[in-house]
Amino acid sequence: METRVKSVFSTFSASKVVVPGLVLVNLAITMPLAFVLNIWIDEAFSLHTSGGGIGYAVRQALHFEQQPPLYFVLLNLWRGISYSPFFARLFSVLCVALTIYVVSRLSKRVLSDIHPGWVTAAAALNPFTIWAAVEIRMYAFVLLLTTMLMLFFHDGYLADNSKRRSRWFYVACAVAGLYAHYYLGFLLAAHACVLLVLKRWRRFFNYSLDMAIVGLCFAPLVPSVVQQLHSVNMYENRASTTLSEGARIVYWDLIKYILPTGDIGWLTTARKWIMRVSIIWMVIFIARHLRTVARPTYLAVWTTLAVIFAFFLAVSGSVGEEFLRIRHVAVMFVPALLTAFSLISITKRREILIVASLVMLIFSTATLYATYKPMAKYGDEARVASYIVGAEKPGEPVIIFRAEFVLPFALYYKGKNPVVPIPAYPNLDNYDLRSQVLISEAQLNSIVSPVLSHAKRFWLITRHTDTFRGVNFHPEILEKYVNKYYTQVERKVFYKSEVRLFEEKRMLSRSEKRTQ
């Protein structure tokens, strides 16, 4: 039967260009998107954090970003070559391209029955990897580190002819991982559990010694971790997450890696039924063929994913849903992908592999189309700025609520009027959402009166004004104020953003009033 499975891919595997070709396909998608898409708020933060010296990048990462500093230091060095936002994104683009290549090497070791081209294709065309590639954030780097850790773990601790050199590479990647994304620590713990499950006692001892080195290297960052945990929990009204809610959130994050839907109704419905049928069928199949399907490499992948899932479940009550979004749990992506293909592989049915791969491709393609159809990221700042510049006149200030969104807008706005974030310019030393809350009409009036005293018209940009992380920004205060003293003249909706032009009510002519 194994020969039959391999014969399915004889033509596919004969080609030496499959994996490089898939890397190029990924680059053909991500490079244009990286050039065209606007910078959004999180990316604006990354540009600011990496915009000074290395010391500044470290301080901002620890105190403002509430993240470990390695990615921002590397981004700072990378931007020393070119300061453009596109070049900053290029770092992530290349990280994802390398990830796809390493995935092909890893799948060749773990999934010997399946040509690596199948897994590589699923990674190269996955909406999550493409999203990570066009983000000026650490997630593409996290994907690369995750994949390298899994590769070196196999070569250094699992393989029959394990290599000491791979162990040292693993240690180096582990230290880098903890200095780049704390959740990569879950992967390190999962690998320890893998060795215990497989009863590799001697190698578990060696792994423990290696992790002691990693722990010593990470020790200087421990005080910062404590401070950051305090900052995460400072929002007293943040919605808490029960154990069952946490399990549901993390489970669907995991499923979205395999079958993304992009909030497309029919795909979401189809995914629910596909998962129900697949889980029931797989449980029955594995129960009947456990001894024949439980290869060490498969058990390693399954244990890795299960332990990481358990860790995210354990911390869900502390960090809440806002810190368990699909990007935050990126360390699960590669284990989830390998788990999916390992479950397909154990069936030893070429029809199942082909159909499953086609289904993944359909879901990924539809999601990519839905996601990038607007050709804009959250806020659509480039088009917003272009619209205002083309329509504004002197003496028409631009007011932005919430305040932090002034950062990406300022990258594109080259107009003639002052830009006023309310209630104040964001604090870029310590991130605190509560500083963006409107308190009262009197407070708002004291902020805008100096700007509007000689202006009869102004532009208002609003976005993401709903309660976030338990913080109510009170947008109703702003809406009541502008409706009380001003009349809306123009309104245009962009992707996740709204632009309105207001004019003082007493300045409207009779004819204008009749048209309102």
With 0.85 as the threshold, say if the pTM is over it.
yes
Q: Does the pLDDT at position 89 exceed 50?
A: yes
Q: Which has the higher per-residue pLDDT, 332 or 224?
A: 332
Cα–Cα distance between 201 and 360 in angstroms, integer?
38
The domains of the chain, with CATH numbers, are 2-372 (no CATH), 381-515 (3.40.50)
Q: Does the pLDDT at position 10 exceed 60?
A: no
Q: Specify the 3-state DSSP secondary structure of 365.
A: helix
Q: Give the number of other CB atoms < 10 A from CB of residue 186.
A: 22
What mean pLDDT comes out for the span 411-424? 94
Give the type of residue at 42: D
Residue 504 Cα to chain centre, angstroms: 42
Side-chain half-sphere CA neighbours of 184 within 13 A: 27
Least confident of 247-251, 308-312, 379-383: 247-251
pLDDT of residue 453: 85
Q: Does the pLDDT at position 154 exceed 70?
A: yes
Q: Which tokens hold the place of 237?
A: 């009204």
Cα–Cα distance between 293 and 290 in angstroms, integer?
5
Cα–Cα distance between 489 and 204 in angstroms, integer?
69
pLDDT of residue 17: 85
Cα–Cα distance between 123 and 130 in angstroms, integer?
9
Q: Give the number of other CB atoms < 10 A from CB of residue 475.
A: 16
Residue 172 Cα to chain centre, angstroms: 24
What mean pLDDT comes out for the span 231-240? 58
Q: Which has the higher per-residue pLDDT, 338 or 318?
A: 338
What HEC string does 52-114 produce?
CCHHHHHHHHHHCCCCCCHHHHHHHHHCCCCCCHHHHHHHHHHHHHHHHHHHHHHHHHHCCCC
DSSP string, 264-296: -HHHHHHHHHHHHHHHHHHHHHHHHSHHHH--H
What HEC string does 16-29 produce?
CCHHHHHHHHHHHH
Give the chain's mean pLDDT. Answer: 90
Q: How many residues does the chain have?
A: 516
Write the pLDDT tens digit of every residue in 266-290.
888 999 999 888 888 888 877 777 6
Cα–Cα distance between 293 and 289 in angstroms, integer?
6
Task: State what percent of residues in the chain have pLDDT above 90.
Answer: 71
